[in-house]
Amino acid sequence: MSTDEKPKILLLGGIDHTKAKDAWSALSSLGTLLTPKATNPTDFLQECRSGSLDGVKAVYRTFQSVSITGRIEGAGYDQISVSACTSHGIFVSNTPQVVDAATADTAIFLMLGALRGFNLPLLTLRKGEWRGKTSPPLGHDPEGKKLGILGMGGIGRDIGRKAEGFGMSVVYHNRKRLPPEEEGGAKYVSFEELLKGSDVLSLNLPLNVSSSLCYLFFLEDYPRSLVVYVKAERLQKNTRHIISTPQFAQMKDGVVIINTARGPVMDEAALVDALKSGKVFSVGLDVFEEEPKVHPGLLENEHVLLLPHMGTATYETQEKMELHVIDNVRSALEMGKLVTPVPEQQA
């Protein structure tokens, strides 16, 4: 590519919001805007190998792009090998704080619904049975309960602030304790203390699993100078099945569990057993181990409140995410650096 030739900027998927569409169009002053001709992963890889995408300097992918590239979806970057990207000069960006409020609101909704046991009356009412053939069991008030937060990033801190408004006390566990000014009155405890002392446990930590599809896609089929954008949160080590049978055994009888993080951080089979035994009173889930598949034991249990991964599904949040992507692309092209690189690539 000659020095006076504009770089190429590749859009995978579609942009939904008007402000973001306008911001994307404005990038034409910095480069040539492209979309792939391919409509499936096999053809897309072939299109990359053909050389038609040589000169691409930045890629913006959306949720819809999974049909084109294969599975590289979600708000986290657990499906990308950041170390492989780094070793080949590929830079990955994230959107810290953009999704915090919407995800925290979802967690609060699930927490209140699970505490009160609202799932069963919701189901029976739609069947025309009012409160059911027998009255549903009594639920619990949030006031006076201890909320344990595993993963005190932006989402966890927002959940903690909102939970205090319901009269809950908040404890948390991270790999490292937060500075006091960021704790918001929450108490730092060990992982064991968190499990043993929480009335409600909220999971807010990412998953550290990389995908071979993503590895091949980024490593083999793009120029070394490519900048890759992925909507993401902070990575934490060794989080797959961090909650499983041994951890359930340490919890209070009748604990309530909320997961708005990643499905595989909790062992669903062990969760089903804990629900059957009564160790877990109820659970609120927005994420699952094998999405979109949901464990049959969760679907069958009346004490499980379910959402189909909708934590960030608000107009405002999605618009902010799209605009933040474009800010990263613009910064990469104009300044040679990302606004929000993932932690592993921060200097």
**Residues 232, 236, 240, 242, Cα dihedral to 10°:** -130
**Separation of alpha carbons 82 and 45, rounded Å:** 20
User: Taking the model in full, what pTM does it have?
Assistant: 0.82
The active-site residue, picked from 47, 164, 183, 291, is 291
Confidence of residue 216 (pLDDT cuts 50, 70, 90): very low
Confidence of residue 208 (pLDDT cuts 50, 70, 90): low
Which of 61, 157, 241, 309 does the annotation list as catalytic? 309
- With residue 228 as reference, give the H or E element that holds it: strand 227-229
High-pLDDT (> 90) share of the chain, %: 67
Architecture of domain 100-206+238-306 in CATH? 3-Layer(aba) Sandwich (3.40)
The DSSP string of 145-198 is: PEEEEES-SHHHHHHHHHHHTTT-EEEEE-SSPPPHHHHTTPEE--HHHHHHH-
* Annotation says 177 is catalytic: no
Tokens, residue 322: 């799209």
Sorted by where each begins, the domain ranges of the chain are 8-98+208-236+314-345, 100-206+238-306
For residue 40, name the pLDDT band (cuts at 50, 70, 90).
very high
Name all contacts of 41-44 with Cβ < 8 Å and 24+ positions apart: 41/68, 41/69, 41/70, 41/213, 44/68, 44/69, 44/70
What is the side-by-side order of every strand in the sheet holding 304-306? 187-188, 169-173, 146-150, 200-203, 255-259, 280-285, 304-306
Top-ranked range on mean pLDDT: pick from 70-84, 250-264, 325-339: 250-264
Residues 229-269 pLDDT 10s: 433 333 334 789 999 999 999 999 999 999 999 999 999 99
* CATH fold group of domain 8-98+208-236+314-345: Rossmann fold (3.40.50)
What the block records as the tokens of 211 is 């995908």
Who has greater pLDDT, 305 or 48? 305
Residue type, 343: P
Say what the pLDDT of residue 112 is.
98
Structure tokens at 237: 């080590």
Choose the catalytic residue: 262, 295, 303, 330.
262
Lookup: tokens for 155: 């989402």
Which residues touch 21 (CB under 8 Å, ≥6 apart)?
A: 15
118-127: average pLDDT: 92
Is residue 291 annotated as a catalytic residue, yes or no? yes
Question: Any catalytic annotation for residue 126?
Answer: no
Bond before 246 cis per omega within 30 degrees: no
Its sign, for the CA torsion 148, 154, 160, 166, is negative
